Structure 1
């Protein structure tokens, strides 16, 4: 029997942006479905082992809170599970939120259940039917076969613009020159001494020495190793590679090559970083983490000048507070563009709306932004904010048949978002 479902809103992708979009849409009165291809929610935060929410606060020594709304609801659910998150000042001098990814999976389950959001895990998007520049249905697959879902509006929160590509939306790959930022495969080490110097400078000394001594498959010499307070487990963000596509062949190449790098870094850290001699590999990934692949061409594009100047605007539906962090060289740390401490910029609704597909919204690290601006909006704290805005915008379009900016902003404020 052919299976089909009908909703007001369908969100594809269950990372930070997708969860925020689905909850925001449901709270706005839309019957909402979220589909996710993995066995759990969380996106890069869970699937790639990235355990740091950047962007809830502005950068610098005088941090200002710029993300609340659904992002705050997620933090509340984490706190309800115990001491699973902590705020700290990072090695780069910014206020971040460190969290335990395994608990995040449970917290997101709890939130979606509490907010009455339907969601399907183990669901792969395989097609989209677009008629007269509107998506009518999407085609999905699970282990029982194929099924379709129809809706009035759709949110692409896949990170890689997978729905947008299948729907025929205008996209770009990487920056204007077609070059994406480096991808990173994180891994975790257990048994790390409490007094280890985990600063980027200490990492650099160890990796440079390891390279000189002939340890193979090492790329980035300087980078971050993160630790939850009082934990013997650290998260290493070093193995890196430049994506050349998203085909099965290319994905296999990247996973294989970065796993080789993991082994090289374990040898380097055990040998040349005092206090890590007895560390053990706890987990790899489990999947490579992308910073930049396909991006939406929106009705508006956020620019570097918007970020640097801290532009405020009447059509803003989310706030971005992170400074541009550009990872182009697999052997070096990111290049940072400095912003005034405590400054933030507004993200317009048009940057979340497809230029050519009427009922398609984008959220997270695929929104419409130039190279430098994208390097500021891609972080997960900001993804909560853009996802929330995209979900509410889609709900307005589905329920009211239009996404008027003042109405979208009004609902976002009612849902405790900062706009």
Structure 2
């Protein structure tokens, strides 16, 4: 007999948005399950080694805090584990970010979900979605013991790639009007780095250009970020890049092989041409390529570039988003920014987190319903915490009360410490 589980809310995907969604749903009183195909939580922050949270603050000078709530729970838990687990930094582009240690993040997320009463299933893949009329009824899953069903009253897709939405047959969006998406990057970590040296994007660019001129192969992006943490000789490097053409196994394998090969040549280039890296040692690759953009959910509302650039405020807003469009359309070049006013943010409406065709399915994180330029602002992980938190609370309201009006969702989010 096939195993079957029943919950009020099921969250698919345990990245920043998924952890926030699960915690928010549980704190709202819903019996909550989080499903994750990896053996740990964190998504791009841990599985791809992206060791910086952008979007907790507005861009530019005079930064204003725009994300608290579930995101703040994670930061506090990391500090409880280790005072050196994260620190505030001003990036090379002048934005206030949070640089963190990914291993402490894994454990902090475990602890927060345990404290809020969330059940987690790791090593679990979703293979299908059961629907009736305009509702999802269950997820078909598989682990090493076989197949099973998970039923719930409401669901949240935080897979990053809108996998639940896609498997349910609901409409999704891909890239711009020509189907072009932003570059994917495979971060890697180095130890033994003299972080007092110049490791700015400009210094990186000089080293990589010289390496290319001297014949070192398989180098793509010339200018990029090296992320430092205070008091550590370890850094995270965001350079090896490629442009995704799809999400099937052949394409994913090609991208992983390509970018992993690039890492070795970047390490060679840094040792030879970047001062402070002479004695560096490669410690971690990835372990998985990090995506900025793949499938996005088509929601009841689509956030537009005008909403982002005009910093639109709205009564049905359920999350603040303080980032500006950061666009990476060329695997060989650093991203470009569309500037916005310092200290400003825009509101993410509830409709952008609601699936257009399935009334009990919500989406959050980088798959939020948005145009591509708007997506380039909402996809950062600080904002993912905020949209995930909102989607989880909305799903809990629907599961427990049969509806999730914006005013009820906002009231519960404020009760849980979110900024609105």
Counterpart check, 1:56 vs 2:56 = yes
User: 1:299-314 alignment to 2 at 5 Å?
Assistant: 299-314=300-315
- Give the Cα separation in 2 of the matches to 1:333 and 1:280: 24
CA distance in 2: counterparts of 1:70 and 1:176, whole angstroms? 34
**Structure 1 SS opposite 2:376:** helix
Corresponding residue for residue 39 of structure 2: 39
Cα deviation, residue 304, structure 1: 1.1
Cα deviation, 1:1-34, whole Å, max 9, x if unaligned, reads 4210001100000000000000100111111100
> How far is the alpha carbon of 1:133 from its aligned partner?
2.1
- Once residues 360 and 73 of structure 1 are traced to their aligned partners in structure 2, the CA distance between those partners, rounded to angstroms, is 25
Match of residue 122 from structure 2: 121
- 1:266-311 Cα offsets, whole Å, 9 max, x none, are 1111111012111111010000000000001111111111111111
**Offset from partner CA, 1:89-143 (integer Å, 9 cap, x none):** 1111000001100011100010011011011001111111111021111111111
Shift of 1:74: 0.4
CA contact (8 A) 1:130 1:168 kept: no
- Distance in structure 2 (CA, Å) of the matches to 1:314 and 1:170: 26
Q: What stretches of structure 1 move > 3 A for 4+ residues in a row?
A: none
Q: 2:274 matched to which residue of 1?
A: 273
2:391 corresponds to: 390
Using the alignment, how far apart are the partners of 1:146 and 1:203 within structure 2?
48
Q: Tell me, in whole angstroms, the C-alpha distance in 2 between the residues paired with 1:145 and 1:5.
A: 14
Q: Which residues of structure 1 form unaligned runs of 5+?
A: none
- Alpha-carbon distance, 1:174 to partner: 1.9
Helix, strand or coil at the partner of 2:367: coil
- Mapped pair 1:73 → 2:73: yes
> Within the alignment, does 1:15 sit opposite 2:15 as a pair?
yes
Shift of 1:175: 2.4
Partner of residue 209, structure 1: 210
Q: Assess if the C-alpha contact under 8 Å between 2:195 and 2:228 holds in 1.
A: no
The answer on 1:93 being equivalent to 2:102 is no
Give TM-score, length-normalised by structure 1.
0.99
Partners of 1:402 and 1:175 in 2: CA distance: 33
What's the CA shift string for 1:179-230, capped at 9, x where partnerless?
A: 1100000001111113221100000000111111111000001000011112
Alignment partner of 1:6: what SS? strand
Q: Give matches, 1:297-376, under 5 Å.
A: 297-376=298-377
- Aligned-CA RMSD value: 0.7
**Separation of aligned partners in 2, 1:54 and 1:275:** 26
How far residue 390 of structure 1 moved from its aligned partner, in angstroms, is 0.3
Cα distance in 1 between the residues matched to 2:272 and 2:197: 13
CA contact (8 A) 1:190 1:232 kept: yes
Which residue number corresponds to residue 286 of structure 2? 285
Shift of 1:242: 0.4
CA distance in 1, matches of 2:375, 2:173: 12
For the residues of structure 2 that align with 1:110 and 1:147, how far apart are their CA atoms? 26
Q: Give the Å deviation of 1:412.
A: 0.5
Tell me the secondary structure at the aligned position of residue 112 of structure 2. helix
Q: State whether structure 2 residue 133 is matched by structure 1 residue 132.
A: yes
Instruction: Tell me how far apart the structure 2 counterparts of residues 72 and 117 of structure 1 sit (CA, whole Å).
Output: 17
1:187 match: 188
Tell me by how many angstroms 1:265 deviates: 0.6
Q: Aligned partners of 1:73 and 1:9: how far apart in 2?
A: 20
For structure 2, the residue ranges without an aligned partner over 5 or more in a row are none
Following superposition, the deviation at residue 178 of structure 1 comes to 1.1
Give the C-alpha shift of residue 263 in structure 1: 1.1
C-alpha distance in 1 between matches for 2:388 and 2:275: 42
SS at structure 2 position matched to 1:257:
helix
Partners of 1:93 and 1:277 in 2: CA distance: 27
Once the two structures are TM-superposed, the CA of residue 177 in structure 1 deviates from its matched residue by 2.2
Q: What SS does structure 1 have at the residue aligned with 2:366?
A: coil
How many angstroms apart in 2 are the aligned matches of 1:294 and 1:314?
A: 28
Q: Does the 8 Å CA contact 2:293/2:366 hold for their aligned counterparts?
A: yes
